[in-house]
Structure 1
Amino acid sequence: MTTKIVLVTGGSSGIGEATARTLAARGHTVYAAARRTDRLEKLTDDGIRPLAMDVTDDASARGGVEKIVEEAGRIDVLVNNAGYGSYGAVEDVPLDEARYQFEVNVFGAARLAQLVLPHMRRQRSGTIVNITSMGGKIHTPMGGWYHGTKFALEGLSDCLRLETAPFGIDVVVIEPGAIATEWGGIAADHLRERSGDGAYSAQARAVADMLSSESNRSRNSSPQVVADAIAKAVDARRPRTRYAMGFGAKPLIALKWLLPDRAFDAIVKRAVGVRS
């Protein structure tokens, strides 16, 4: 297996941390990026190189990529994992917050792709892995802005795949289902803050309770299942364009494709406890 130079964003916890450790264990040289490098120190025992990076700051993103190329001479894989979920009714979420979610989840990933592509084109090889979600194929109440970012990243990835194929560059989409990370609790907190009172409070409370419930957390899949799928794509000679894994991902994506919109709406409302 050829050793590859890999950048993993959002590498300090959850899927990013599991991915960095898995790829390093497979012999790759891994740079794990996060805004706070103190949270990355735990990875250094595995030979993972910490990298300070804010994906929403152009100078920070550019400096991180330049540092990798300067030290390693190339960059072979970008794993765009940095992202977060800010839930709340579309009407309630301030546009500044909505824009910031797009800055992190979409424009941050796109900017890093822009920065690594000149190096990958010169190499005539490379892999860009974009972590979307089953939320890039399905929808839930109170998640409009989050789902919007994931749908956008799905479409961006498809176009990028067509554009970069002539240069030997693969673009892979990873679509996790429900994963046992901090994500659910953070999303629930945002939801209660934005829509816990007012016109959408009944829906907001139901969705927040589902996101933060112990029963929900107990059935969620380990971040390792996502890390394993990413590693499979990174090591494949010809990776698939999409990998769906984790609790609920494959059946819900299939149902969304098969069912009329209103029938799928009814299933989603029942699943999240919304009765109206």
Structure 2
Amino acid sequence: MTRTVLITGCSSGIGRASAKAFLEEEWTVYATARNPADIQTLGDHDDCRIATLDVTDAEDIERVVDRMLDEEGRIDALVNNAGYGQMGPVEDVPTDAVRDQFEVNVYGPHRLIREVLPAMRRREDGAIVNVSSAAGRVSFPGGGVYCGSKYALEAMSDALRNEVREYGITVSLIEPGPVETSFEDRVESEIEGIERSGAYESFYELFEDYDAIGGGGFAAVEPERVAEDIVDAASSTKPPARYPVGPLATVAEVGRLVPTRIADSLWSFASKLS
């Protein structure tokens, strides 16, 4: 029987690459995005169904999951990919922007997980793949809100993995470093919308050059590389709990083991160089 996967955030980047990768492996793909026009061409493939889905809208989620179960009778995998990055010093980010960040990056995946789990538990089979980030392992100045949302997703995934193991359901985290996508464009737009206190101008100078915080350049990976690990996590009977993707993600894995006192000293030294 053909396996089925529901993917959020397929308009571009990792989500779109994942949809294509699953199709190449002959899965039936339900590719979703807030704007269906962004994914219209994916619907040209016989095994791809497209749907409008805003992860902050519970009715959208229920509608798409119900449709998938009606049409396919099963959901073999959920890929929580939709997300964005709210950057800026913690003091300068309005609380409403923090709430919006968590709505998409944390509450959205939680809504989808709750919606698909009953069907997965009934079949005692399924895979949940949450796209996190290297920033879910190591926080950095100017990224507290975004990192906080990814830390929360990591913690929730770790708990869930052990809660659903007895039902034959796997839970994996994908932790890319910088990826060659339009992510940085959204980062820049979110920075423009925050309330500058005037106390952290050195951070804004760094953000103006995205390479300075790890974006682009030699360290970035293609979205297709991330998609490979997403397909592996959804396909394996015993997938790893975490998939660090790219050189900076590997560094983050090591960096989280560095004592806080030393890490703070390194950030202090880096700030003096800026």
TM-score (norm 2): 0.93
State how far apart, in whole Å, the 2-side matches of 1:134 and 1:230 are. Answer: 15
Q: State the 4+ residue runs in structure 1 displaced beyond 6 angstroms.
A: none
Matched, 1:21 2:20: yes
CA contact (8 A) 2:137 2:151 kept: yes
Given residue 128 of structure 2, which amino acid in structure 1 is its aligned partner?
I
**How much has 1:184 moved relative to structure 2?**
1.8
Q: Does 1:32 align with 2:42?
A: no
Q: Render the CA deviation track for 1:221-243: whole Å, top value 9, x for unaligned.
A: 10111100111111212111111
Given that 1:98 and 1:145 are in contact with CA atoms closer than 8 Å, whether structure 2 keeps it comes out as yes
Q: Following superposition of structure 1 onto structure 2, how do residues 210-225 of structure 1 map, counting pairs within 5 Å?
A: 210-211=209-210, 216-219=215-218, 220-225=220-225
Find the aligned partners of 1:45 and 1:252 in 2 and give their Cα distance. 39
- Report the residue type matching 1:252 in the other structure: A
> Structure 1: which amino acid aligns with 2:209?
M
For residue 217 of structure 1, report the CA deviation from its aligned partner. Answer: 1.8
**2:128 paired with 1:128:** yes
Partner of 2:71: 71
Q: Which residue of 2 aligns with 1:58?
A: 58
Per-residue CA distance 1:199-221 (angstroms, 9 max, x = gap)? 11221221x123267x9423211
Q: Report if aligned partners of 2:184, 2:215 keep a CA contact under 8 Å in 1.
A: no
Matched residue type, 1:23: F
How far did residue 267 of structure 1 move? 4.0
> 1:129, CA displacement in angstroms?
0.4
Does the 8 A contact of 2:92 with 2:197 survive in 1?
A: no
- Matched with 1:110 is 110
Q: Tell me, which stretches of 5 or more residues in structure 1 are unaligned?
A: none
1:239 and 2:239 correspond: yes
- Checking the alignment, whether the CA contact within 8 Å between 1:77 and 1:128 is kept in structure 2 is yes
1:249/1:268 CA distance change after superposition, 3 Å: farther
1:194 is paired with a residue of what secondary structure? coil
Give 3-state SS (helix, strand or coil) of 1:56's partner: coil
**1:148-173 deviations in whole A, cap 9, x for unaligned?**
10000000001111111111110111
Offset of residue 262 of structure 1: 3.3
Q: In structure 2, what is the Cα distance between the partners aligned to 1:205 and 1:218?
A: 18
Query: In the alignment, is the contact (CA less than 8 A) between 1:157 and 1:173 conserved in 2?
Result: yes
Residue range with higher mean Cα deviation, 110-119 or 234-243: 234-243
How far did 1:26 drift? 0.3
3-state SS of 1:248 partner: helix
CA 1:114 to 1:274, structure 2 compared with 1: closer, same or farther past 3 Å?
Answer: farther
Q: Which moved more, 1:26-35 or 1:188-197?
A: 188-197
Q: Following TM superposition, by how much is the alpha carbon of 1:109 offset from its aligned partner in structure 2, in angstroms? A: 0.1
Q: Do the aligned partners of residues 254 and 274 (structure 1) sit closer, same or farther apart at CA in structure 2, a change above 3 Å counting?
A: same
Q: Which amino acid aligns with 2:162?
A: L
TM-score, normalised with respect to structure 1:
0.92
8 A Cα contact 1:85 1:183, kept in partner: yes
1:183 maps to which residue?
183
Give per-residue Cα distances to partners, 1:132-153, cap 9 Å, x unaligned.
1111100111111100100000
1: CA distance between counterparts of 2:8 and 2:125? Answer: 20
Root-mean-square deviation over aligned CA pairs? 2.0
Q: Deviations over 1:6-32 (max 9, x none)?
A: 000001110000001001110100011
Distance 1:192 1:268 in 2: 24
1:89, 1:195 within 8 Å by CA — same for their partners in 2?
Answer: no
CA contact (8 A) 2:211 2:217 kept: no
Partner of 1:157: 157
Aligned length: 272
Does the 8 Å CA contact 1:195/1:204 hold for their aligned counterparts? Answer: no
